[in-house]
């Protein structure tokens, strides 16, 4: 039986610190941008104070991961739990917490897969330096990365410097741009922060390769696959440029050490070229990714959007799926069904994305996020989420087809292992294979309840594992 998946394929699941840990200020942890943003919305949805309370339940959760048959667990380390103010004293209790997680994972034969920065910049760096706008934050991140490599690198092989840098910079509150209303000033700050994130990424990659023998480190990208709304040539070009501006400009920087020409043209025409220093190019070009981590949820359509006297080239409208004058206007695909939260469901788009990344960069790929957010209903102590099973089945099949196309793929980690604090809809929007018994405004008992999708995914991993064993024989 040919499953399409390699025998050492990393079947897993993902999470992030601020969305699952809770204990936001326990054991000396500092406040983060994610905490700050969540507290502003506490009257509307759950915040980071408890979340899924992984901090106090990690042993139970990891035992469930073992029961599921997971080969890897992709999680993030909270920078502010290790260094509360981002750049000062190291918090031993933070190191102890992550050491316990890593040791427990290894005890359960689960490969730790670590993200260093997942939307949770220490807030003291915002107050002191305006976050990623300053190179001081870059150097603080490099130090944080080296501390993690030193303390955890003997047991952690797989690393990501940032989660979805290309998405972080689209959402002003995630890069602590709160009060500025001038679009040009926002874009100028955004461009500088984006460049500094690239530099921080490169410094972390270089340090990882130097400090940890046989380590693997790569970028985690928020995937964009865009179809032209019509067959008009200008719409085809608009679709291509949308993917360029939302994915490939960043991956090109990480892979080649410099921005592509179309992106430099945009920065120059918009008069927002970031400050770069002598020596940066050497750092950026030295940093070589070992893989590309793909976070995939949906596809979109684009059509041409001409600039005019009121809307100059490069002006943005929107945030995550922004439109840009002179290049592209975004829309939903009328040929696809969408989730109840508005994301187009398109497994074929995942196959397209994986092929595209492989052909452009010839680097192994791993899915680090892919999932369906839904209002799961607890009935008689069970969650019957056939809709999630259908979603995962179709996307796993897309991975199989991509492998058959020749893509080197090393793992699949759906989002998420447990229900967690969704950035936009709290616990009303659930992604997990395991239900967390709480609501946005009532913590309840936080009981872990395995969904139907848990049992289905467990069977998938078992079946493919058995087939791989037979093939080896």
Hey, CA dihedral for 377, 383, 385, 388, is it positive or negative?
Answer: positive
> What is the distance between the alpha carbons of residues 434 and 50, in angstroms, rounded to a whole number?
17
Q: Are 230 and 303 in contact (CB under 8 A)?
A: yes
Q: State the pLDDT at residue 2.
A: 53
Cα–Cα distance, 455 to 473 (Å, whole number)? 27
pLDDT of residue 298: 95
472 membership: H or E segment, kind and range: helix 452-472
d(CA 131, CA 471): 51
Cβ-Cβ contacts under 8 Å for 285 (sequence gap 6 or more): 256, 257, 258
Report the interhelical angle of 135-152 vs 92-107 (nearest 10°): 50
Rg (alpha carbons) of the chain, rounded to whole number: 21
pLDDT of residue 311: 95
Matching residue, tokens 């305006």: 130
Per-residue pLDDT of the chain (473 residues; tens, 9 = 90+): 456 899 899 999 999 999 999 999 999 999 999 999 999 999 999 999 999 999 999 999 999 999 999 999 999 999 999 999 999 999 999 999 999 999 999 999 999 999 999 999 999 999 999 999 999 999 999 999 999 999 999 999 999 999 999 999 999 999 999 999 999 999 999 999 999 999 999 999 999 999 999 999 999 999 999 999 999 999 999 999 999 999 999 999 999 999 999 999 999 999 999 999 999 999 999 999 999 999 999 999 999 999 999 999 999 999 999 999 999 999 999 999 999 898 999 999 999 999 999 999 999 999 999 999 999 999 989 999 999 999 999 999 999 999 999 999 999 999 999 999 998 899 999 999 999 999 999 999 999 999 999 999 999 999 986 665 444 32
The answer to whether the beta carbons of residues 284 and 202 sit under 8 Å apart is yes
Task: Dig out the tokens for 29 from the structure.
Answer: 């942890």
The burial class, CB within 10 Å (0-12 / 13-18 / 19+), for 181 is exposed
pLDDT at 57: 98
For 430, which DSSP code? B
Q: Find where tokens 């490599």 sit.
A: 149
> Could you tell me which residues come within 8 angstroms of residue 426 by beta carbon, excluding any fewer than 6 positions away?
41, 44, 45, 46, 440
Cross-strand bridge partners of residue 344: 338
Active site residues: 164, 369
Q: For domain 10-472, which architecture applies?
A: Alpha-Beta Barrel (3.20)
Element housing 366 (H / E):
strand 365-369
Q: How far apart are the first and last CA of the chain?
A: 12
Tokens 């991975």, located at residue: 399
What is the structure's pLDDT at 472? 39
> 261 vs 231, 265, 266, CA distance in Å?
26, 6, 9
Using CA atoms, how far residue 153 sits from 10, 12, 86, 243, 421, in Å, is 19, 20, 20, 34, 28
Residue partners of 132: CB distance under 8 A and separation at least 6: 121, 138, 175, 192, 193, 196, 197, 200
Peptide bond into 416 cis (omega under 30): yes
The 8-class DSSP code of residue 171 comes to S
Report yes or no: 241 and 228 within 8 Å, Cβ to Cβ: no
**Number of residues written out for the chain:** 473
Residue 143 buriedness (CB in 10 A; 0-12 / 13-18 / 19+):
middle
Token pair for 302? 């684009």
* 167-189 residue pLDDT tens: 999 999 999 999 999 999 999 99
pLDDT of residue 47: 96
Give the pLDDT of residue 3: 63
Beta bridge partners of 226: 300
Quick one: pLDDT at residue 469?
44
Whole-number pLDDT of residue 442: 96
Question: What angle is formed at CA 449 by the lines to CA 116 and CA 347, rounded to 5 degrees?
Answer: 60
User: Which DSSP state fits 311?
Assistant: B
Q: What is the pLDDT of residues 17-36, one digit of tens each?
A: 999 999 999 999 999 999 99
């Amino acid at each position: 039986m040919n499953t399409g998946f390699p025998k050492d394929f990393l079947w897993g699941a993902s999470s992030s610190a601020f969305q699952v840990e809770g204990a936001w200020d326990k054991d000396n942890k500092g406040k983060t941008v994610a905490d700050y943003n969540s507290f502003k919305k506490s009257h509307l949805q759950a915040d980071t104070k408890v979340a899924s309370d992984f901090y106090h339940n990690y042993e139970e959760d990891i035992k469930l991961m073992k029961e599921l048959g997971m080969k890897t667990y992709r999680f993030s380390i909270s920078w502010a739990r290790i260094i509360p103010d981002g750049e000062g004293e190291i918090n031993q209790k933070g190191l102890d917490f992550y050491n316990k997680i890593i040791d427990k994972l290894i005890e359960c034969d689960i490969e730790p897969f670590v993200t260093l920065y997942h939307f949770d910049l220490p807030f003291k760096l915002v107050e002191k330096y305006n976050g990623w706008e300053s190179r001081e934050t870059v150097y603080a991140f490099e130090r944080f990365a080296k501390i993690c490599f030193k303390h955890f690198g003997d047991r952690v092989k797989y690393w990501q410097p940032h989660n979805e840098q290309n998405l972080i910079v689209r959402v002003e509150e995630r890069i602590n741009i709160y009060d500025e209303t001038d679009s040009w000033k926002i874009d100028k700050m955004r461009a500088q922060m984006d460049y500094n994130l690239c530099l921080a990424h490169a410094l972390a990659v270089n340090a990882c390769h130097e400090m940890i023998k046989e380590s693997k480190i790569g970028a985690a990208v928020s995937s964009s696959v865009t179809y032209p709304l019509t067959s008009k040539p200008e719409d085809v070009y608009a679709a291509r440029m949308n993917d360029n501006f939302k994915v490939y400009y960043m991956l090109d920087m990480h892979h080649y050490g410099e921005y592509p020409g179309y992106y430099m043209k945009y920065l120059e025409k918009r008069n927002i070229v970031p400050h770069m220093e002598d020596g940066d190019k050497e750092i950026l070009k030295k940093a070589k990714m070992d893989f590309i981590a793909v976070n995939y949820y949906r596809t979109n359509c684009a059509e041409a959007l001409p600039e005019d006297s009121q809307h100059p080239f490069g002006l943005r409208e929107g945030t995550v799926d922004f439109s840009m004058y002179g290049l592209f206007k975004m829309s939903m695909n009328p040929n696809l069904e969408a989730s109840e939260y508005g994301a187009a469901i398109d497994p074929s788009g995942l196959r397209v994305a994986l092929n595209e990344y492989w052909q452009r960069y010839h680097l192994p790929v791993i899915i680090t996020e892919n999932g369906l957010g839904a209002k799961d209903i607890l009935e008689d102590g069970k969650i019957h989420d056939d809709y999630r099973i259908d979603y995962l089945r179709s996307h796993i099949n897309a991975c199989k087809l991509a492998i058959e196309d020749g893509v080197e793929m090393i793992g699949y980690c759906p989002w998420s292992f447990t229900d967690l604090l969704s950035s936009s809809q709290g616990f009303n929007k659930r992604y997990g294979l395991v239900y967390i018994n709480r609501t946005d405004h009532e913590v309840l008992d936080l009981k872990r309840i395995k969904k139907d999708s848990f049992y289905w995914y467990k069977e998938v991993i078992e079946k493919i594992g058995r087939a791989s064993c037979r093939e080896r024989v």
